[in-house]
Amino acid sequence: MSEVSPAWWGGIEMKGSFIVNGKKAEWSFAPDAVLLDVLRNNGHTEVHRGCGEGECGACAVILEGRLVNSCQVFAASAAGQKITTVAGIGSIHSPHPIQQAFVEAGAIQCGFCTPAMILAVFCLLQKTPNPTDDEIRKALDGNLCRCTGYVKIFEAVRLTARRMSSNE
Amino acid sequence: MNRIEWYFPETIDEAAALLARERTVPHGGGTGLVKSGLSSFSGVVDLAKLPLNYLKMEKGILEIGASQTFASVAENLSNLCPDCILVAALGSAASTPLRNRITIGGSVSFFPPWSDLIGPFSVLEGEICTEGKNSGTYDLSSWLANRPVQQGTLVTSVLLPDAADWDSCYYREVRVGFDYPAFTVSVVARKNGSKIEKVRAAVSGGLERVTRLSGIEDGLNGKDLSQLASLDVKKMGRVTFGRKPAGSAEYLSEIAAVHVERCLKSVLLGGGELR
Amino acid sequence: MNEFSVVGKPVLKVDSLSLACGSAFFTADFTVKDPLFLAFFYSPHAHAEITAIDDSPARAMEGVVDVFHSGNTSSGLFTTAGQGYPEPSPYDTRLFNKTVRYSGDIAGAVLAESDKTARAAARAITVEYTLLPPLFDPEKAMDGDVPRIHDEDEYAPLPVAYRPEQNIAGEVLFSFGNVEKGFAEADFIEEETYNTHCTSHCAMEPHAATASFDEHGRLVIYSSTQVPFHARRIVSMTTGIPLHRIRVVKPRIGGGFGSKQEVILEPYVALAAWKHKRNVRAELTRREVFTTVRTRHAMRVRVKSGFKKDGTITALQMDDLMNTGAYGAHALTVLSNAASKVLPMFNKIPNMAFTGHAVYTTLPVGGAYRGYGATQGYFAFNQHVDAICRKVGADFVEYVKKWHIREGETSEVFRAIGEGTEGVSQIVRSCKLTECLDRGAEEIRWNELRGKRLRSGSVVKGVGAAVSMQGSGIAMVDMGSASMKMNDDGSFNLFAGATDIGTGSDTILSQIAAERLGISVEMIVILSSDTDLTPFDTGAYASSTTYISGQAVLRCAEKIGEQLLSTASSMTGAPVGNLSIGKGGKVINSADGSEIPFSEIACYSMYSRNQFQIQAQASFFGEESPPPFMAHFAEVDVDMETGRVRVVKFVSAGDCGQPINPVLALGQIEGATLNGISYALTEQYLFDAKGKMTNNSFWDYKIYGSLDIPEVKAILAESSEPSGPYGAKSISEIGINGPAPAIANAIFDAVGIRLRELPMTPEKVLAAIKAKAGR
């Protein structure tokens, strides 16, 4: 359910509330603003702009449980919804197992694609805790990485899956 | 910059009324409007609150609400009807995060040359249901032929009256995995022993957005499987293309026919389509 | 077999947790107070002179602060190439050129209160052009009757061949022996022409730069750069801002691959900021990155060799024509590398000649891109060798094993061809190429698959191979330096000029320091690439960081070690000769086995007697450039009916000396391999008739993603380079040289057709298959 109201009559700004990483925030934005810009302009620089056209995946966030390219979502249509960025699944003080596995497997070189890639893995493992390689490929199909050749990213996913399933 | 109002109607009637206004456009959450921008509109009707996010299958009749995303359709159908050609087509379109936003309604309003929906829609002989202005039920060719009918109307659902119990094969011609197709090949068939009860085949992405291969269909409907060998599929499966970044018109036409042949063999004789 | 504690171990990359958690900052992530935004407008024409610019509609827009263009802003000539000074690239561009030389060339810039406003204002500006004839065909560039791209006062700052009157941006001529004599002695002559194409680096982070002011009014530039020190120098040179008032800081970089070895945005943000005394941000869109930033140079390589029935090459002649585009950044040096990194591979050829020209055209600008000319040269070289092998009935792997340069050997080429300056003679001291070939061949199942053309339906299998070498920094040119200081708890700050662009140099430099001092990497706190805080380093290019910056760090750590021992001696009275650095942060007295912890030494030196700060600095430049070696193998399936080539498996086996960090080294190989594969098969620039790039987005510029990756296996040979820090050589570039030729050779193995033009698209493959079948 969205909570959006025009800021003032005749104005070109809208206001909406967004629940980002569990915290509610009220932000103003232009009617044609995309979620990527609204997030970045309000401190969430962990969401990256790689192309602005939905083609690279670097801006991906989780919106109401689904991985989406935030550059392809109007902020107005995301208002009132739950958004998770990579900062919402773990922190430098208390990393998520996926973040830890990426570090240990050497799956991070420049790190620009990493936040979105980790969210893609997060969504995959929620649905499919023990994915096959084909399932991994498909889950990451919208996240481009130019540095790693994906080899160690796949290793990180397998490592996480092994660890998380042995913890159950 | 012009003032843009966002509306969040809760009923179809409300939405339809809003869309009858000038320069007012529907938005189901897909990427089309984000890409084209809002500068030529003064109103956006957000469809999120409308009861259009459903999928029902009863007695082979498949009805999909306009707000279903490609991902949802693929997931729901892989439970209800896993062999349905839509599972392969919508499940491989674009990319994971894009499939989570592209909607049936948005896709149908737009049917771009690279659509993964149009081929399966064509062979399953789907219909488009709309409300509000120009409300009605349209088959694909009348929908495509009559662009003005699409303006201001609200697509509420698509109906695929005979969606189950087909053997199917779907192929999309892409340069890399995450790519829009230069063309797609859709083949569905029903066999009874060695007899082909019915077969439908379509190629999308040509100069005509989608082409049913009626010559091949006529040559095979009701015939024995062995009839396939006597058809010159590579010639009959030829569709005219324009040049695309993926290849010249001649090349695309040639290999589309190759893939038509492969899909037909895969569906009728078994064995996977070689990618 | 070396026994190291930290070197050679898979130490976790020091910045990866912050990158995984989103706490790391890239250039566009820094917030500065009240920024203005800079956006560019570009020429739509391939070649034109700007006759008038009406920027009034832009200036009239609310929020627009300024408009910069050739009508109101002049600068001297310079090169954007991030190289040592004076650069081997011609000074042939200004900040705002009055003559624009490719579709996409910068015509001006708008400064406004928001990025959106700046871009809207840029679109509102009217520029009047007098059209000039374009030049798109590099093969015609040196002819007499074609347009001259540079006819003003352009010049080369170094005494190198530069003849813009013939559209020549660079020239390399080299020969020894007598090739005609060699050809006459040959049983066979093989001559073919190969063409490579221009491609984009596609680093995931678009270029960005922010110019801001510190509390003293000094300019602080955050930039997505591989070359912070060159950037500082070039900003000062082009804008006139005194160098000591400029600080350049490199934060995390989202990939470079050479695209950020270029000083593009920094001068503009600096200029705008300095004029208005406001913070200024610029961030290119992905579309702009394709055309505003540099590309890989397209190159035509003509190879002619004479060889005997037994395969002995009697003469080799190479003629390269490189399309450098509208400006000559990196023109001479990329061209040089196409020879200097390729020709030494077979160092027993008695007669050799190389002719190379880099020519101007009115197309996007070539620049530095991983491989840097070697990639293009090896595409031709490896197919040529494969063809020779086929002719004489030799196996490619055995043939290369027989003829490649070996440890203890040299090549005339090293001395002859440098990068703008003289080359440097060197002896190869580590070369495990034979081991790489053997291990790679086994992994790809070379003997099982080669020549077998295993078939499944219309799909035929083939395997192909390629070899390459690169360098480790530019000998006698590249310099790196580092400094260290000690802290109370026995930890050290390490300040390195070296630039980590995602490669992990912060980590491996910390490992080198930690190894020397017998401590763990956690006790090294590294800070890199800040022109105020870190000493000089040429930057991340030429595969220089491990070898050159690494040696600087090692020497610095050695000096620290000496101070630790002498302080411990003062503390204990023990003679320095009895003392040594132990493991785990202590000095050991061999006479009585006693240990003095580093922390005690630190506190003694800082607080007790004869107080001084234990600190040191060191610089290093390479007197040689020891080449890494690599053998690359591809297994492909070719669909005879559609021309589709699928890489099933790719094996890259490399000798990088002692890998400082094997996980990072393998990561470099894996990434370079995949980049090389899509370079070979799917990436390309498409142009319209007017020279405008038509596919400037990932929509139509295709790179490999997770759905496309073949099985990739990277192998590191056992090796050690005597002149390298702990035996290390470089690794980051070489992996990209192999895929295109290995895949081409594999296609030949499968279907008997040789593709000499990149990319090897399905349509081209199918056309060649049909041509061979006479259809």
Q: Which amino acid is at C425?
A: S
Section C102-113 average pLDDT: 98
Query: Does residue B121 lie within any of the structural domains?
Result: no
**Chain C contact for A55 (CB, 8 A cutoff):** yes
Query: CB contact, 8 Å: B32 with chain C?
Result: no
CA B227, CA B212: separation in Å to the nearest integer?
Answer: 19
Q: Does residue B23 fall inside a structural domain?
A: yes
pLDDT band at A9 (very low <50, low <70, confident <90, very high): very low
For the beta sheet containing B167-173, the strands, ordered from the edge strand earlier in sequence to the opposite edge, are B167-173, B183-192, B195-204, B210-212
> Which tokens hold the place of C573?
């009275």
Chain A to chain C Cβ contacts (< 8 Å): 181
Do B229 and B132 have their domain in common?
Answer: no
B229–C contact, CB cutoff 8 A? no
Distance CA B44, CA A156 (A): 42
> Do B5 and B135 lie in a common domain?
yes
What order do you get walking across the sheet with C48-54 strand by strand? C99-100, C48-54, C126-131
Question: CA–CA separation, C422 vs C475, rounded Å?
Answer: 10
- Residue A23 pLDDT > 50: yes
* Same-domain status, B153 and B176: no
Amino acid identity for residue C164 in this structure = P
- Average of per-residue pLDDT values in chain A: 93
User: Nearest CA of chain C to the CA of A1: how many Å?
Assistant: 29
High-pLDDT (> 90) share of chain C, %: 98
Does B96 touch chain A if contact means CB atoms closer than 8 Å? yes
Superfamily for A4-88? Answer: Beta-grasp domain (3.10.20.30)
Residue B98 sits in the same domain as residue B58 = yes
HEC-encoded secondary structure of C36-48: EEEEEEECCCCCE
Q: Quick one: closest CA in A to C673, which residue?
A: A149
Write out pLDDT tens, residues C128-168: 999 999 999 999 999 999 999 999 999 999 999 999 999 99
Q: What is the mean pLDDT of residues C252-275?
A: 98
As a whole number, mean pLDDT of residues B199-214 equals: 97
Indicate yes or no: CB of A147 within 8 angstroms of CB of C17: no
pLDDT digits (tens, 9 = 90+) for A109-153: 999 999 999 999 999 999 999 999 999 999 999 999 999 999 999
Does B185 fall in a domain?
A: yes
- Section C381-395 average pLDDT: 98
User: Sign of the CA dihedral A83, A84, A87, A89?
Assistant: positive
Residue A1, pLDDT score: 34
Q: Each residue of B54-87: pLDDT tens digit?
A: 999 999 899 999 999 999 999 999 999 999 999 9
Among the residue ranges A7-21, C58-72, C457-471, the one predicted with the least confidence is A7-21
Question: What is the distance in angstroms between the Cα of A41 and the nearest Cα belonging to chain B?
Answer: 19
Percent of the residues in chain B that have a pLDDT greater than 90, as a whole number? 89
Amino acid making up residue C69: H
Which residue of C lies nearest to B255 if distances are taken between CA atoms? C642
SS3 content of chain C, % helix, strand, coil (to 5): 30, 25, 45
Q: Do A68 and B44 touch (CB under 8 A)?
A: no
CB contacts, 8 Å: A67 with chain B? 96-97, 100
CB contact under 8 A, A142 and B96: yes
Q: Which residues of C touch A113 (CB under 8 A)?
A: 204, 254
pLDDT of C529 over the 60 cut = yes
Q: Residues C415-442: pLDDT tens digits?
A: 999 887 788 999 999 999 999 999 999 9
Given pLDDT bands bounded at 50, 70 and 90, which one contains residue B1? low
Closest by Cα among A89, A80, A35, A1 to B101: A35
Range of the domain at B257: 167-269
The reply to whether B7 touches chain C by the CB within 8 Å rule is: no
pLDDT tens digits along C578-607: 999 999 999 999 999 999 999 999 999 999
Q: What is the mean pLDDT of residues C715-730?
A: 97
- What contacts C494, CB < 8 A, 6 or more positions away? C482, C483, C484, C509, C510, C513, C524, C525, C526, C527, C553, C556
CB-count exposure of residue B30 (10 Å: 0-12, 13-18, 19+): buried
Question: What pLDDT digit, counting tens, does each position of C312-362 carry?
Answer: 999 999 999 999 999 999 999 999 999 999 999 999 999 999 999 999 999
Give the closest-approach CA distance of A164 to chain B in angstroms: 23
What's the mean pLDDT when you consider all of chain C? 97
CA–CA gap between residue A73 and residue B101 (Å, rounded): 8
CB contact under 8 A, C706 and B177: yes
What element of type H or E holds C401? helix C396-403
Going by CATH, does the domain composed of A97-166 fall within 1.25.40.10?
no
Is the pLDDT confidence value at B275 over 50? Answer: no
- Which CATH number belongs to the domain containing residue B151 in this structure? 3.30.465.10
**CATH code for the domain of B206:** 3.30.390.50
Q: Indicate the DSSP class of residue B273.
A: P
User: Does C503 reach chain A within 8 Å, measured CB to CB?
Assistant: yes
Where residue A8 falls among pLDDT bands split at 50, 70, 90?
very low
The widest CA-to-CA distance across chain B, in whole angstroms, is 65
Average pLDDT value for residue range C19-40? 97
Banded model confidence at residue C2, pLDDT cuts 50, 70, 90: low
Q: What residues form DSSP beta bridges with C596?
A: C587
Strands B61-65 and B127-132: unpaired
Task: Name the residue among C641, C694, C705 with its Cβ closest to that of B176.
Answer: C705
Closest residue in chain B to residue C642, using alpha carbons only: B255
Domain ranges of chain A: 4-88, 97-166
Residue B111: count of CB within 10 angstroms of its CB: 19
Q: Residue with structure tokens 């070396």?
A: C2
Query: Residues near C33 by Cβ (< 8 Å), separated by ≥ 6?
Result: C212, C279
| Mean pLDDT of the region C732-758 | 98
**pTM of this prediction?**
0.97
CA C460/CA C702 separation, integer angstroms: 25
Whole-number pLDDT of residue A4: 46
Give the pLDDT confidence score for residue B146 in this predicted structure: 87
Cβ contact (<8 Å) for A2 and B46? yes
Give chain B's domain count: 2
- Say if the Cβ atoms of C458 and B274 lie within 8 Å: yes
* Residue B210, SS3 per DSSP: strand
Q: How far is A76 from chain C (nearest CA, A)?
A: 18
Which one of C639, C694, C704 has the shortest CB-CB distance to B176?
C704
Q: Compute how many other C-beta atoms are within 10 angstroms of the C-beta atom of residue C758.
A: 25
B136 and B173 co-located in one domain: no
C689 touches chain B (CB under 8 A): no
**In whole angstroms, what is the distance from residue C729 CA to residue C407 CA?**
14
Which one of C707, C709, C770 makes the best mutation probe of the B interface by having the most chain B beta carbons within 10 Å?
A: C707
Residues B250 and B218 in one domain: yes
Residue C469 to residue B1: CA distance in whole angstroms: 57
Residue range B227-244: mean pLDDT, rounded: 95
Q: Would the pLDDT of B273 be above 80?
A: no
Distance (Å) from the alpha carbon of A2 to chain C's nearest alpha carbon: 26
Average pLDDT for A63-74: 98
C 669-708 near A (Cβ less than 8 A): 670-675, 697-699, 703, 705-707
In chain C the domains, ranked by start, together with CATH numbers, are 27-132+207-283 (3.90.1170.50), 298-474+624-772 (3.30.365.10), 479-621 (3.30.365.10)
